[in-house]
Structure 1
Amino acid sequence: MIRAALALVLALFPFAAAADPLVVRGDRLFVAADVAGHPVEALLDSAAELSFIDRARAAEWKLGAAEAVTARGSGGEQDAGLIRNVTITALGVTLSQATVGVTDLSDVGARLLGRRLDVILGHDLFAEARLAIDIEGGTIARQERTAPVSGIELPVSGHDGIDSIPVRIAGKTVQADFDLGNGGGPLISKALVAALGLQPVGLEPGGGIGGAISTEIYYLPELELGGVRFPRLRARLDPHGNAGPLNIGVSLLRRFLIVTDLGQRKIWLAPRPRG
């Protein structure tokens, strides 16, 4: 079984550069990064339109004045700022003129991670490079865009700066947001709840940027993603309409070897051997 798993990893990631460590805590993913010369551990969030830096850290690092904006997250809205021309390096990728969001990440860090959160690496990193990701194996690597890739190729579409891929649920194809920052299980929209005729089975705490919220819980009919079937999944309602019909995160995606190329609108998934 170990040999079979290794063979599949090599088949999917044949020309990846030397892999970087991917730190996995629960269903949250972290990598080493550098922001304007300051080394830091950053949370990965492919569905964050921008990378974010904690306001206190941005002031400490003297990143410059911020333009006032409002950040919208899974918990609602929160005051934020934008700082332009920030240099971020991670996974062998350098974003030399990145526009970053600046907001107070202390609540998100304490509530979701139980620790300080300084940086969230968002969609800009994923759009810049092809990345080979093995969540269970704890590795992530930049891959040449000309390299062949195994696995099921899924077309990427999008809404409001969030990328989505097709899944099958209750015999129908729907779009599911691809969200490596989602560590809390699938999210489902009110419209899809109504279309499937689902009934709530309870409440569960949730929320990210924007604060803590309580969300209704539903059980989904069988969902098929990348050739893998997931029966009777628990899903949380997206009360703010931030997501598409569905939003899938690390709890499902860790079952796959993943290659993302959001700049070229492609994602490949290969079921990871179990055992």
Structure 2
Amino acid sequence: MKLSLLKSSLMSLLLVLQGCGEAPRTSGEDILERCLEAAGGREALSGLHVIHTVDSLSMAGMSGISESWWVREPFTGLNVTELGPVRQEVLIREDSVWTVDRNGHLSPGGIEERDQMELSRMTVFYDYLLNTALASPGADTLLDGVTAVSVTLKDHPNVVFYHSREDWLPVMMRAATMGIEVRSYPGGYTDIDGIMTPSYSVSIIPALGQTMETHNLLTEYNVPVPESIFVLTSGTADWSLEGQGEEYPVRIMGEHLYLDGTVQGQRVNILLDSGAGATVLDSALASRLGLEGTGRLPASGIGGTREFSFARVDEYSAAGAVVRDQTLAVMPLADQFYSATGQRIDLILGYDFLSRFATRIDYGRETITLREPGTSGIPEEGASVLHAERSMGLLSVNAVLEDSVPVRLIVDTGAGGNIHLTPSFFDAHPGFLAGRPTFDTEMEGIGGTDSIAGFRVSTVTLGDYKVPGGLCSSFDGGEILSGFDGILGSGVLSRFAVTMDYDSGLLILQPSSLFETGMPETLTGMGLEIREGMLRVRSVVTGSPAERAGLREGDMLVSVDGAPVSGEDLHGITGLLPDREDVPVVLGIRRGGDETGLELVTGRLVP
């Protein structure tokens, strides 16, 4: 599951939507020069040294305020956005960027914040107009009946301004942040100190179905900068860690990690998911605890997009850590995932939790260990240390498939399987599947079910280790994952004791007791789910042992080699099925009102 709040990036982009003037159709440099003159002229724009803005915001049923300060030399910027219960701060100081998330946690900026920094450097003080080498006018286009010329930033081709041919003021700005397109429509231009400034803007995020309205309350140029304004107001320590370095048990079930914890003192079942950009509370549990959600925002993930709200939680705990005064995402979890997992999930531990610690997961020992951030406790023997990039609250690392194909993969403890590759990967490697046997199946995610194609990858290299790639898949992933090649799931991660240190930007791998074997590979080709307390065949892979045995979608599995099974055996079924190829097993099936036995001979889904 991936949760993305685009407000601070969006506000920085909105800030640069300032005017241009009228000119006949002529060369690109002349167009940019006339835009410069219309915005206020070279002298006025070159003389800009400080910008201060305050804007009101409304989005997803929430309202708020955004305030920004910018200084040209040395280049410094601060954006503070408060929207409903959510507060986020971004500080830029020359070549560094820092953020404070909605729960007051201070951390270095990730990929999108650094992109925002570079974009702001070019646009906030109109450098892209003052230096015509930074932008390139392009073709005309028709926008709502207005002919507009496009102006693209050369170093940021995903950022395009559209200026009206009638008055040369911007009528739209289109930008992409980590694959998510934002379209902003400014208007109501006014002259402030000789510089044309929009008084409002409507911004649309098509992929998420969201609209944000911004109204300027104050714009000031070249005013004194308050003392100590460029300081982030991170919260005081909102967590405590008892027994630092102690091991706590986790349960591996269906290639997912579960552990016990509490929310508001109530015992809960937790899914540990480094692929979740936020910690998520089940909506039914929130209701029982009397927590009221605010807003309606989209969460993008495998299978599509779901809506979530925010709720304030006094305290939750897991693995010896207690975290206090948190704003958590809220959406249905327990009922949503029970049929596919057999687990009623009360809480998903994501970025909000994991980023506060150096977290070690030993899949072989089935334990989790937390340490203070920046104290990874790197084992000396057999450890491989990988640089981990952070983006949207997710960690990603470089890997190599089959000794020759470099990939950037999100580290996702919440994803079953080995490696799931995005359309962006196949756009860059169109021949990767040529000659490989494939099969069609499904993957369950936060947004529902996604159809995927399965295939085998011989090896994946992570740092100093090369391990079998095993069964992998291609999946849609949506626009939010378009900046990555894929997801690194538990099938590969289980071969290691994995340490994730967000503060230091490190992923540390050491072989676990599962290093040689990994997790069991499916040898049947049938997908099961719980339906009315029984095991229902949800899917049958074409050409698989399950199809050859005669299984059909909708069959009820009632026994394995004569041993009765029910919905409670969803995870235990693996132990009843053979773990080797070419082994026969009799499956008791109820189809309609009849029961029958089908002999299935185990085998690989693809060579």
**Band the TM-score falls in, shorter-chain normalisation:** 0.7 to 0.9
**Residues 195/230 of structure 1: CA separation in 2 closer, same or farther (3 Å cut):** farther
Residue 11 of structure 1 aligns with which residue? none
Residues 167-218 of structure 1 show CA distances to partners (whole Å, capped at 9, x for unaligned) of 1124243211000111233210112124331337121111211111211223
- Of 254, 268, 274, the match for 1:46: 274
Instruction: After TM superposition, give the deviation of residue 51 of structure 1 in Å.
Output: 0.9
Task: Return closer, same or farther for 1:16/1:84 CA change in 2, 3 Å cut-off.
Answer: closer
Structure 1 contact 134–258 (Cα < 8 Å) conserved: yes
Residues 193, 63 of structure 1: CA spacing in aligned structure 2 closer, same or farther, 3 A cutoff?
same
Amino acid at match of 1:177: I
Measured against aligned partners, the alpha-carbon deviations of 1:230-250 in whole angstroms (never above 9, x if no partner) come to 345322223133432021111
Structure 1: which amino acid aligns with 2:416? Answer: G
Are 2:413 and 1:180 equivalent residues in the alignment? yes
1:149 aligns with 2:389: no
Residue 231 to residue 91, structure 1, CA distance change in 2 (3 Å): closer
Is 1:218 the counterpart of 2:452? The answer is: no
Of the candidates 468, 482, 496, which is equivalent to residue 256 of structure 1?
Answer: 496
Does the 8 A contact of 1:167 with 1:176 survive in 2? yes
Q: Which segment is superposed worse, 149-158 or 103-112? A: 103-112
Q: Work out the number of aligned pairs and report it.
A: 261
Alpha-carbon shift at residue 66 of structure 1 (Å): 2.6
What is the DSSP-based 3-state SS (H/G/I as helix, E as strand, rest coil) of the residue aligned with 2:424? helix
RMSD: 2.2
- 3-state secondary structure, aligned to 2:246: coil
Within 5 Å, give how 1:1-275 maps onto structure 2. Answer: 17-144=245-372, 145-146=374-375, 148-150=377-379, 151-170=383-402, 171-196=404-429, 197-199=431-433, 201-220=438-457, 222-231=459-468, 233-241=470-478, 242-243=480-481, 244-273=484-513, 274=515
Larger radius of gyration: 2
Contact between 1:177 and 1:248, CA under 8 Å: does it hold in 2? Answer: yes
Q: CA deviation at 1:36?
A: 1.6
Tell me, yes or no, if the aligned pair for 2:262 and 2:316 is still in contact at 8 Å.
yes
- Which position in structure 2 is the counterpart of 1:7? none
Contact 1:54 1:106 in 2 (8 A): yes
- CA positional deviation for 1:30: 0.9
Percent identical? 25
Tell me how far 1:264 sits from its aligned partner.
2.5
Does the aligned pair in 2 maintain the 1:73–1:210 contact within 8 Å? yes
After TM superposition, give the deviation of residue 16 of structure 1 in Å. Answer: 5.9
**CA spacing shift, 1:160–1:238, aligned 2, 3 Å:** farther
Distance 1:56 1:224 in 2: 42
Q: Are residues 159 and 147 of structure 1, via their aligned partners in 2, closer, same or farther at CA, if it must alter by over 3 Å?
A: closer
Distance 1:95 1:31 in 2: 16
Deviation at residue 107 of structure 1 after TM alignment = 4.9
> TM-score of the superposition, structure 1-length normalised?
0.86
Output the CA distance in 1 between the equivalents of 2:376 and 2:364.
23
For residues 147 and 54 of structure 1, the distance between their equivalents in structure 2, rounded to whole angstroms, comes to 31
Distance 1:81 1:184 in 2: 29
Counterpart in 2 of 1:12?
Answer: none
Alpha-carbon distance between aligned partners in 1 of 2:496 and 2:469, rounded to the nearest angstrom: 19
Aligned-partner Cα distance in 2 for 1:222–1:34: 40
Structure 2: distance between partners of 1:181 and 1:147: 21
Q: What amino acid maps onto 1:94 in structure 2? A: V
Give deviations 1:31-72, integer Å, cap 9, x for gaps. Answer: 111112211120000110111111111100112333221121
Q: Any idea what SS the aligned residue of 1:141 has?
A: strand
Distance 1:57 1:51 in 2: 14
1:58-108 Cα offsets, whole Å, 9 max, x none, are 100112333221121211011211113542211222221322111112454
What is the TM-score normalised by the length of structure 2? 0.41
CA drift at 1:18: 2.2
Aligned partner letter, 2:443: G
Q: Could you tell me which amino acid in structure 2 is paired with residue 115 of structure 1?
A: Q
Letter paired with 1:204: T
Find the aligned partners of 1:108 and 1:64 in 2 and give their Cα distance.
20
List alignment gaps of at least 5 residues for structure 1: 1-14
